[in-house]
Homo-oligomer: A and B are copies of this chain.
Amino acid sequence: MRSKGFEGMACSIAGVLDAVGDRWAMLILRDLGLGLSRYEDFRRSTGVTNATLSDRLRQLEQNELIERRQYQTSPDRYEYVLTRKGRDIILVIQALLQVGDKWAITGEAGPPLKFVDGATGHGVKLALLDEKTGERVRMTDVRPRPGPGADDLVRWRVAKFENKSN
C-alpha cells in the first residue's frame, strides 16, 4: 500500500499516519489494544460522535488494521478486533504513552496507565537498541541514512542533515 495523501513521498512515517487516519482512529486502536471491542465501548471511552466513530471504524477496516466479527444474531451485533497489522501499531501507542508520561501531560498525579510484563509485573519501556549487538543506543547518537527505497526527496533530506552536522 502506498500512502494516498502523500503521493510521491517515499516515507514509512507518512504512510502509517495515513493508514491510521487521525487522532480519533489512534484512540480507537489504543482501546482495541486494551481489549475493548464494541462500538458502545469506543463511544464511552473516547467520547467521539457516532458519525466520526462509524467513519473511523470503516477506514481502519478498509486499511486492514481492524476486523469486524459477528458475535450475536437476531439482532445482529458485531465487535472489532485488531488484525496482526493493527497490533503492530501498539508500538506507536507505547511510544506516545511514554512521551506523554515524560511530559506529565495529564497532570501531577502521575501516569494514568502503565504497561507491565504480565509474568514479572515489572514496568516496561521502549528503548533504542543496536540491531546487531542488542546494546542500548542513545537517541542523540542516531543518524539518518538513505535506505534502498530512497527517492530524491529522501536523499535531499538526509543531505540536509549531513550538511548541518558538519
Contact = CB atoms under 8 A, between A and B. Distances in A.
Interface in A73-120: 85, 87-103, 105-107, 109-120
A13 to B, nearest CB: 4
Interface string A110-148: 111111111110111111111111101101011111111
11 contacts: A10-B112, A11-B113, A12-B97, A12-B103, A18-B23, A34-B160, A35-B164, A115-B142, A116-B143, A124-B128, A124-B142
Interface of A: 1-3, 5-6, 8-19, 22-23, 26-27, 30-31, 34-37, 41, 44-47, 85, 87-103, 105-107, 109-120, 122-134, 136-137, 139, 141-151, 153-154, 156-158, 160-161, 163-165
Contacts of A36: 157, 160
B47 A9 contact: yes
Contact of A149 (B9, B90, B107, B141): B107
Contact of A12 (B91, B101, B134): B101
Nearest to A127: B129
